[in-house]
Structure 1
Amino acid sequence: MFDTILLASLVEHTRQPLRLISMEHRFTRQELYDRVWSKPMSHLVTELGTTMAILSTLLRRADIPSPSSGHWMRKEFGKPTEQPPLPPTPSGCVEPLVLDTEKQGGRRKPKHVTADPATALGVAQKTPMAEPENPVQTTPKPRPTQPTTMTREELYSAVWTTPMSRLAEEYGISGNGLAKICDREDIPYPPRGYWAQHAVGKAPKRTSLPKSSSARSITIRPTPLPPPPIELPPEVKQQADRARASASAFVVPERLLRPHAVIASWLAEHEEKKRQARNERDPWMRNLYRPSEFTETDRRKHRILDALFKAIERQGGKVVRGERGVLFAEVLGEKVEFQVREKQKQERRPLTDDEKRWRSPGDNGWKKELAPTGWLVFEIKTWQWPAGLPHQWRESEKQPMEGMLPDILATFVAAGPLLVQQRKEREAAERERHLAEKRRYEEQQRRKRDANRWRKFRELAQDWRELATARDFLMALRSVATDSSVEIDGRCVEEWIAWAEEWLQRTDPTANGVDGVFKQVADVSDWTYRD
């Protein structure tokens, strides 16, 4: 049966070159199902050399279930995942499934082959052709790390010959990022659905490239990859798994019977504000003091946090309330700031009568406002949060916040040892910085002291040269005949000559020998000269 269908497929496309056969991938439904659930779809389309749209279409026609959004992220962090079984083969789907990866133009082959068995058998008897023994295997290209520079014309030609998602991977950016570059450079690109129409030979005509006064080139820089998820130590992973297993059993209560101390303080403050509002006589101040009533979402948030706070404390942690209502969870002595808020969304509402009265010509007839959605968001606010651990949980219709509490608790438990390790690393780095700063300062003082000593040595040399000149001058004075009876300021000439000799002896830097010279140099410190 397999040979019959294959031969029918080959005869149907006899006008196409034989080399296109090597660009096909053939699977049974079970084989394709196993491939889809073995790795992410983005990796699989790169490995097969196709696009997400072509692979999704083939899976839909063959009724093969694919992983939902977030499946691989949940599996990476050890969260429970669900893999539906392969349903029975739908009618009209004939195996093997053919995935065409030919990038060139022309009519594409159908994703799976359907043919009349009798016709196929007759053709097979006339043209016995065999499947190629060594089909070409497409290997994924490595992600670029260097910028790519091109002209507007080159980028225009590229986006009209290769799908945007596949072309963006070659540049190391996303499809939306490439579209934004094209919009900025006024480069038209294929509209949505263009390549599906191109596959059946009904693609619309290209949009011509408009002229541009700018002659500069376009540089596309690859987007840096996010840091890989950290590998938890085995003991930390086991502790987190135990916390997740213990937390999966607790249930968020429908009523707050014995609220946590933090929740109780919120409720007490709310009642105190209501009491102040009731006792206030001034209507304006009464409205100022009166708090808004708790919504159903607020009460649900209190119940969820009450269950989470008690679970954290059962694991040896502690939840405290800081200044301005900031919440902290102390895990192994490390503080983790977090918050729980209600997700908001922008909505348009019609203008009120007063707003219409003050509306200027040309203004919109509506106004944007943030409206509550009823969905809660749990977010970690600590900036030292270990990289690779999740820091935000958003609930949805499929995943309420109550079901995320085990993962949140396990994340807190796993973050404790990592935060302790990071703090120790920061302290070690700080100590090393202090030591390096001390060594730098000592080296700076040593250089300064050495420079001062050299300065002192040059000063001694200058004094020695000046004393030599003074000594020659004194010898010249001795050779001159003078009247010994002449007194100058109560001294005769001989006495003045003796005075000069005494100063020459006293100020001579070599009077105490070489040791005396370098002793004077060694006595110089880094503070001898203040300039």
Structure 2
Amino acid sequence: MARESITLTREELYERVWTEPMAVLAPKLGLSDVGLKKTCARLKIPSPPRGYWAKLAAGQKLRRTPLPKLPEKGAAGIRDATFHPRDKESAAPEPLTGPVADQARFEAFPENVLIVPDVLEAPCPLVARTVLALRKAKPDEAGRLRARAQQLLDVDVTLGTADRAMRIFNTLIKGLDARGYRVSLVTPKPEPQRYGTAPEAGPPRTMVRVGEDDIAIRLTEVVSRTQRTPTRSDGGWEPKRYDYEPTGRLVFEILEIASGTRCKWSDGARQRIESMLNDIVVGLVEMAEALKRRREEWAEAARQRAFEEEKRRAREREEHLEQERVRALDGIMRRWRKAKAVREYLAAARTMAAERGIAEHVELNAWFAWAEGYAEGIDPVSSRGIAYHTDDNDRPYYAWGRSTEDNSPIW
């Protein structure tokens, strides 16, 4: 069945865009917020600036950007737009669940938008310490500031973007702290060195505590590098090989890897990191959930391996017991055949003794008596009982406690 369409004039769409956030309006029209922004740009409809809804929620009185008039000529096709909302059955998405969905809904509220101020105000201790160190730092060959202090935020920028980076970090750290996610510096364990030298600990990493995980983060600036042709004026043993140029483009990274989880945000042509801080918060929660799932998967895999190992050992024990049963039965049968052979021999010997007239020989009869006793003693089926095998303690037992096997020859 064809979906119903909605056609809005420029004026109607302008009114709706300035009445509710695009992130809320776009799904109602069957678009993403990016798609709705593109539609507004095509119709030359201004959209609310960054931070508009947060300021409006704070009670500030703000003016709308007026809807510009279109020229009489060349305005065909940009006076209205047709949208195709999803059917009711498909439009209603499955209810989001879990910490990531809860965080995303929280960050979507206008009053929770993180706004980076134009001036660094009331910096948190980590930012204040880093700012002080960067002011004293000297740039390296690429122009990046290299501070001597150790307990600093993981930031790698040039002098031109240091202030902006600190304002971003300060806003993000305060926002994370307000949401219950503490930012701290953690020194990694010393790495073992070769040739017996003492292990050295690396620089501290900036970690965000989300649930049970400490997630490392970093803010860096992209510095372009171009090959340089050495000239005579360079001098020195190693002439300068590259030219470096700061780009001012910042990149925020989560220094963890999880399949299907975003771990990098960077300045683009239309969007800067300042407008992505709420997305970064959601990304940190998503990363924590991914790490939690990975731990659970590893634990489940370990349990499965232990289960399979126990099955293998049980199988080996059963095979061992089966071998013991077979060996025990072989011993019982060997004794039974031996006792039967002894009795058959004694019967033949008595017949021969009677035929030769020595049936009353004393020493011969004593030997016959001893041989019958021996046959009775080794016979597993006798007046003493029936020999059997038990699996107690993985060892076979017999009614009269004899050994498992009798390797002596039958004859």
Gaps spanning 5+ residues in structure 2: where?
1-6, 8-25, 45-69, 78-92, 139-145, 151-155, 189-201, 398-403, 405-411
Report the 3-state secondary structure (helix = DSSP H, G, I; strand = E; otherwise coil) of the residue aligned with 1:319: strand
1:328 equivalenced with 2:207 (yes/no): yes
Give the equivalent residue in structure 2 for 1:233.
96
**Which of 137, 148, 168 is matched with 1:304 structurally?**
168
Give the equivalent residue in structure 1 for 2:119.
254
Alpha-carbon RMSD: 5.2
CA drift at 1:425: 5.7
Structure 1: distance between partners of 2:115 and 2:147: 40
CA contact 1:376–1:395 (8 Å) conserved in 2? yes
Give the equivalent residue in structure 2 for 1:405.
277
Give the equivalent residue in structure 2 for 1:378.
252
CA drift at 1:409: 1.8
Counterpart AA for 1:373 = T
- Return closer, same or farther for 1:272/1:368 CA change in 2, 3 Å cut-off: closer
CA contact 1:453–1:525 (8 Å) conserved in 2? no
Report the 3-state secondary structure (helix = DSSP H, G, I; strand = E; otherwise coil) of the residue aligned with 1:464: helix
Residues 407-422 of structure 1 mapped to structure 2, 5 A cutoff: 407-416=279-288, 420=292
CA contact 2:220–2:250 (8 Å) conserved in 1? yes
CA contact 1:456–1:521 (8 Å) conserved in 2? no
1:505 equivalenced with 2:369 (yes/no): no
Structure 1: distance between partners of 2:147 and 2:227: 28
Report the 3-state secondary structure (helix = DSSP H, G, I; strand = E; otherwise coil) of the residue aligned with 2:321: helix
Report the 3-state secondary structure (helix = DSSP H, G, I; strand = E; otherwise coil) of the residue aligned with 1:350: coil
Structure 1: distance between partners of 2:103 and 2:258: 21
Give the equivalent residue in structure 1 for 2:183.
319
Counterpart AA for 2:119 = E
- Return closer, same or farther for 1:338/1:512 CA change in 2, 3 Å cut-off: farther
CA drift at 1:506: 1.7
Residues 411-490 of structure 1 mapped to structure 2, 5 A cutoff: 411-416=283-288, 420=292, 423-424=295-296, 427=299, 430-431=302-303, 433-478=305-350, 479-480=352-353
Aligned-pair identity in percent equals 21
Give the equivalent residue in structure 2 for 1:98.
none
TM-score by length of 2: 0.55
Report the 3-state secondary structure (helix = DSSP H, G, I; strand = E; otherwise coil) of the residue aligned with 2:208: strand
Structure 2: distance between partners of 1:336 and 1:512: 78
* Count of residues in Structure 1 that have an aligned counterpart in Structure 2: 301
Give the equivalent residue in structure 2 for 1:343.
222
Structure 1: distance between partners of 2:223 and 2:383: 89
1:390 equivalenced with 2:255 (yes/no): no
CA contact 1:247–1:405 (8 Å) conserved in 2? no
Give the equivalent residue in structure 2 for 1:525.
394
Counterpart AA for 2:96 = P
CA contact 2:256–2:263 (8 Å) conserved in 1? no
Q: Deviations over 1:357-406 (max 9, x none)?
A: 989xxxxx994577653322112232346x2x432111134322212212
Structure 1: distance between partners of 2:253 and 2:294: 20
Gaps spanning 5+ residues in structure 1: where?
1-30, 32-70, 96-229, 275-286, 360-364
TM-score by length of 1: 0.44
Report the 3-state secondary structure (helix = DSSP H, G, I; strand = E; otherwise coil) of the residue aligned with 2:328: helix
Structure 2: distance between partners of 1:320 and 1:501: 90
Structure 2: distance between partners of 1:432 and 1:391: 30
Q: Deviations over 1:257-299 (max 9, x none)?
A: 43343x456568779999xxxxxxxxxxxx9979999733344
Report the 3-state secondary structure (helix = DSSP H, G, I; strand = E; otherwise coil) of the residue aligned with 1:309: helix
- Return closer, same or farther for 1:409/1:268 CA change in 2, 3 Å cut-off: same
